Homo-oligomer: A and B are copies of this chain.
Amino acid sequence: MTAQRAVILESVAHAGGHRSAQQVYDDARRRLPGLNPATVYRTLETLHSAGLVDLYANGGHSLRFSLRDAEHPHAHLVCSSCGRELELDPRLVSSFGETVERRTGFRIDAHHLTLRGACSRCSSD
């Protein structure tokens, strides 16, 4: 565990996670000047393989990273129109996941669950 990794992991943990690589990079570099983007990506990949960090795609333009929290899987609701992101009650996610598994045998990875649609503000327009 190097200084870079510690700083990067802290940055991911920061703000409850859900940060883009760019955000992690900016944040980490503030505390560790000279840090390189490649290091950020490589480290995030390493942390992901180690099961410490989740990654998912929020809309095709960048990867997102968050601390893994095995006890509390959650879904992301991404508004296609304004880009706002909300989190969905984990219980809703798990009960849906259980229903799907019962019916199809398919086990949804709740850590990667990203649902697109329209948030309350945008759908009322």
Counting chain A residues whose Cβ lies within 8 A of the other chain, the interface size class is 20 to 34
A77 touches B106 (CB 8 A): yes
Instruction: Say whether chain A's binding surface is mostly helix, strand, loop, or mixed.
Output: mixed
Instruction: List A residues 75-97 near B (Cβ within 8 Å).
Output: 77, 79-80, 86, 88-89, 92, 96
Q: Would you list 10 pairs from A and B whose C-beta atoms are within 8 A, ordered by A residue?
A: A57-B61, A60-B62, A77-B108, A92-B96, A92-B99, A105-B120, A106-B118, A108-B115, A109-B117, A113-B116
Q: Which single member of B103, B106, B119 contacts A117 (CB below 8 Å)? A: B106
Given contacts A57-B60, A116-B56, contact A106 B86 (CB under 8 A): yes
Taken residue by residue from 57 to 71, chain A's Cβ proximity to chain B (1 for < 8 Å, 0 otherwise) reads as: 111111100000000
* A42 to B115 CA separation, bound complex (whole angstroms): 25
* A115 to B107 CA separation, bound complex (whole angstroms): 10
* A40 to B2 CA separation, bound complex (whole angstroms): 45
B109 touches A88 (CB 8 A): no
Q: Cβ of A96: which chain B residues have Cβ within 8 Å of it?
A: 92, 96, 99
